[in-house]
Amino acid sequence: MAVSDHVNLAQFIAGVERRNPGQTEFVQAVHEVAQDIFGYIEDKEKYHEYQILRRIAEPDRVVSFRVCWEDDNGSIRVQRGWRVQNNNAIGPYKGGLRFHPSVTESVLKFLAFEQTFKNSLTGLPMGGAKGGSNFNPKGKSDHEVMRFCQSFMTELYRHVGDDVDIPAGDIGVGAREIGYMFGQYKRITNRFAGVLTGKGLEYGGSQIRTEATGYGAVYFLQSMLEHVGDSVAGKRVVISGSGNVATHALEKINQLGGKVVTLSDSGGFIYDPDGINDDKLAWIKHLKTVKRGRIAEYAEHFGGATYHHGERPWGVACDLALPCATQNELLSDDATTLVANGCIAVSEGANMPTDLAGVQVFKRAKILYAPGKAANAGGVAVSGLEMSQNSAKISWQEAELQSLLIEIMHGIHARCVEYGGGDGDTYVDYVRGANIAGFVKVADAMLAYGVV
Ligand code: NDP
């Protein structure tokens, strides 16, 4: 086989831009990974010869489909659904479904690309995928959500399967939506198979799946702090988001003796200088999962708290920050403010919440910074364990799963240190560590398969 001409990073990114016009989030995600991988593979000719990075940055397939449903007024609504299957070199495709008006093909391609590295980092045999729709569940009745989910699955079922592709939840897709979709899959196929994760405990779900992403992001934070002889106890913490990941991150921070002073949603953020204790957290979980209300209501309910409309919480002074809402919610000015205010560690519960310039600010300041693909991998890891339980037709106890989650997060931390340490001091470049550790396993499997 002919040895390929080496392109440089700028040429490579220019090619990605040319092949994916207007897909800014996807190009951003590839750029973030490629800048680390280029250095690593410089002297490793096989990866160049077999065009491994170029191949990982081209999804195996992108399926796009129409989703029609009827609203409560009898009007016919038409949405677009997607499943992006990025890479299945090390296991069946795996990644969440997102229902949000901001969903585009670019967003899902970025998420599926990231998922490939994240799943590899967990050490479990899972490939990378992502899917979803521009459907907005907010303000819809349960019946409308059900009809949408059924229609979505009526097409999706052709592309997924317990050994093929196993979707899970993400923004706008929680236990309710997974239940409706699983019910429809079962009805169409007449199979009770582990084709979705995040299922209810009554029908094949796993203990701690709901908590796993938020808890995992805090376990990763804890590992980073322990690596430099510090801990979460007594720290002031800023969290964005108020969904699944944010609320469980908060719960774990409280258990470890930290004090969380903010949460947010797409309307703005609340600041509670007294800290959001477990009672207040229970109120928030009810607000968000049962009442489906806005975070602004927190400040009306709890004296001493304030609501900041249209703002994000990064201006609030803190020791630790956990962005747990969405992509590109923490920009370089926010990163500069966090560092100036004394923040010592950032652990990303969300996917790509910090933009490229913000990441550079954290790296230059040499604070502890964990990218989402490492820090929020606990969710997909427990999804992987849900798959194992479904295959074996068994259910593991909560305590066993808790210790497996902790073990997996420690394992990811260790892999990041292995590939991201080595500046001659204790500083670990967790971005580089996660990118390279995630890449190597997928790349070596691809080499084993030859050109396919
Ligand atoms: P949820 O839908 O439960 O919560 C999302 C939260 O983020 C809500 O508070 C939502 O506010 C807020 N949000 C969403 N979009 C925006 C926006 N454009 N601007 C500001 N706030 C926004 O989702 P999850 O908690 O499950 O997911 C949060 C993040 O974590 C995502 O990046 C997701 O990809 C990532 N993640 C989730 C995993 C999981 O297991 N659930 C696994 C790994 C990563 P509002 O209600 O107003 O929209």
- Per the DSSP assignment, residues forming a β-bridge with 95 are 167
Q: Is residue 171 predicted with pLDDT exceeding 70?
A: yes
**Segment 340-371, tens digit of pLDDT:** 999 999 999 999 999 999 999 999 999 999 99
Q: Look at residue 1 in the predicted model and tell me its pLDDT.
A: 43
Dihedral angle at the C-alpha atoms of 199, 201, 206, 209, nearest 10 degrees? Answer: 70
**Segment 370-427, tens digit of pLDDT:** 999 999 999 999 999 999 999 999 999 999 999 999 999 999 999 999 999 976 678 9
Dihedral angle at the C-alpha atoms of 297, 328, 355, 27, nearest 10 degrees? Answer: 170
Q: What strand order describes the sheet that includes 127-133?
A: 61-70, 76-87, 127-133, 93-99, 165-168
Same CATH fold assignment for domains 61-192 and 210-375: yes
Q: Which amino acid is at 330?
A: L
Tokens of 327: 């992509």
Q: Is residue 187 predicted with pLDDT exceeding 50?
A: yes
Average pLDDT for 131-145: 96
Q: Look at residue 3 in the predicted model and tell me its pLDDT.
A: 45
**Segment 286-329, tens digit of pLDDT:** 999 999 999 999 999 999 999 999 999 999 999 999 999 999 99
The span from the CA of 132 to the CA of 349, in Å, is 19
**Segment 238-274, tens digit of pLDDT:** 999 999 999 999 999 999 999 999 999 999 999 999 9
Closest by CA position to 67, among listed 177, 166, 168:
177
Q: Look at residue 423 in the predicted model and tell me its pLDDT.
A: 64
Confidence (pTM): 0.94
Where residue 6 falls among pLDDT bands split at 50, 70, 90?
confident
Average pLDDT for 420-435: 88
Distances (CA, A) of 297 to 300, 338, 356: 5, 26, 33
Q: Look at residue 425 in the predicted model and tell me its pLDDT.
A: 75
Q: Say yes or no: CB of residue 325 within 6 Å of ligand 1.
A: yes
What is the percentage of the chain residues whose pLDDT exceeds 70? 98
Q: What spacing in Å lies between the alpha carbon of 68 and ligand 1's midpoint?
A: 25
Tell the CATH topology of 210-375: Rossmann fold (3.40.50)
The contacts of residue 85 (CB under 8 Å, 6+ apart) are 59, 60, 61, 62, 63, 93, 112, 127, 129, 159, 165
Domain boundaries, the chain: 9-56, 61-192, 210-375
Closest by CA position to 205, among listed 382, 405, 378:
382
Residues 307 and 268: beta-carbon distance below 8 Å = yes
In this predicted structure, which of 131-140, 183-192, 261-270, 418-427 has the lowest mean pLDDT?
418-427
Where residue 91 falls among pLDDT bands split at 50, 70, 90?
very high
Q: What spacing in Å lies between the alpha carbon of 174 and ligand 1's midpoint?
A: 11
Give the mutation target among 171, 206, 289 for probing the ligand 1 site: most ligand atoms within 8 A of CB: 171
Q: Say yes or no: CB of residue 244 within 6 Å of ligand 1.
A: yes
Architecture of the 61-192 domain: 3-Layer(aba) Sandwich (3.40)
Q: Say yes or no: CB of residue 265 within 6 Å of ligand 1.
A: yes
